[in-house]
Structure 1
């Protein structure tokens, strides 16, 4: 094997620490989702994705993927599962765009706006099943849930952003490498 190929392979391999961090991200999201599953559209996953993106960078995408796979194993691989494959990474990408913000308000607005438009994002696959009318009707019927999602995300972000930020700051300060 050439030296260059060996170097490329080394760059793309995960360290044990990376695997543990990815597993902890996915487990945190799954446990939080299960703990609040009795409340319609009230969830911590959005906030966790924002916090994980701020501290762990691109590793968050691996954590999201493992979380989505877990969701599929637990609840089945239906149309909703396909939506999760792109919905959650979009939030991570939006967070990466705002990563220089230090204001809780900015991240609360991001989380709330994301919650408000989550139903619209989830309606996209219906374009291929029933056309634009089905997309629109699916989205409109879910607006009350999107409003609850928006308000829940804002409130949760205002309450938990600082404590989670502080925890991640302490944990990642010396222990976790954000590069992957």
Structure 2
């Protein structure tokens, strides 16, 4: 991994941390998932997974660290790995695919946290259904952030890679 790529990952992590802290007052709406999806498409799985780990750990130092941090890392690393598969395909129009992936990632993230609740309390369905409004917020937020960030980030990635 080159110094240029490490610097790019650090800057993206900083943007994700600041965005997550700034948007904490709107439940489940933050730019981290969108940044991870777009970065994964252009940088590949390894770089995006590192970005997911850094962003989660650093933002949770401010927002609160707990056992859920591991599950956040698992969810975002899984999303990064899945999104990187589309980067390996030669897709003409990546934007609609990444937009759909962002919407699905909002629900997948909530599913991972429902599994966390199952591990802790033994209850899954009630927790999953109660979390659906937050998953919808996350999915809509991802779509909005992918819409806003796709062009600037893709320009940066194409120019610097």
TM-score normalised by length of structure 2: 0.85
Aligned-residue offset at 1:149: 1.5
How far does residue 21 in structure 1 lie from its aligned partner after superposition? Answer: 3.0
Alignment check: 8 A CA contact 1:42 1:149 kept: yes
**Residue among 131, 155, 159 paired with 2:144:** 155
Structure 1 stretch 87-96 or stretch 55-64: which is displaced more?
Answer: 55-64
3-state SS of paired residue (2:124): helix
Q: Does 1:77 align with 2:65?
A: yes
SS in 1 for 2:105: helix
Q: Equivalents in 1 of 2:134, 2:65: separation in Å?
A: 22
Are the aligned partners of 1:71 and 1:81 in contact in 2 as well (CA < 8 Å)? no
Alignment of 1:39-54 (within 5 A): 39-54=26-41
Instruction: Say if 2:89 is the partner of 1:86.
Output: no
How far residue 30 of structure 1 moved from its aligned partner, in angstroms, is 0.4
Per-residue CA distance 1:90-121 (angstroms, 9 max, x = gap):
11111112222333111100000111232111
Measure the CA separation in 1 of the matches of 2:63 and 2:144: 27
The Cα offsets for residues 118-145 of structure 1, whole Å up to 9 and x where unpaired, read as 21111112222222xx122211111111
User: What is the rounded CA distance, in whole Å, between the counterparts of 1:118 and 1:65 in structure 2?
Assistant: 15
**Backbone CA RMSD of aligned residues:** 1.9
Aligned equivalents of 1:93, 1:121: Cα separation in 2:
15
Per-residue deviation, 1:167: 2.6
Deviation at 1:75, TM superposition (A): 2.8
Match of 1:127 among 107, 118, 125: 118
Q: Which has the larger radius of gyration?
A: 1
Runs of 4+ in 1 over 6 A off after TM superposition: none
1:145 aligns with 2:134: yes
Using the alignment, how far apart are the partners of 2:110 and 2:49 within structure 1? 21
- Unaligned 5+ runs, structure 2: none
CA distance in structure 1 between the partners assigned to 2:130 and 2:79 by the alignment: 23
Q: How many residues align?
A: 157
CA distance change for structure 1 residues 153 and 15 in 2, over 3 Å: closer, same or farther? closer
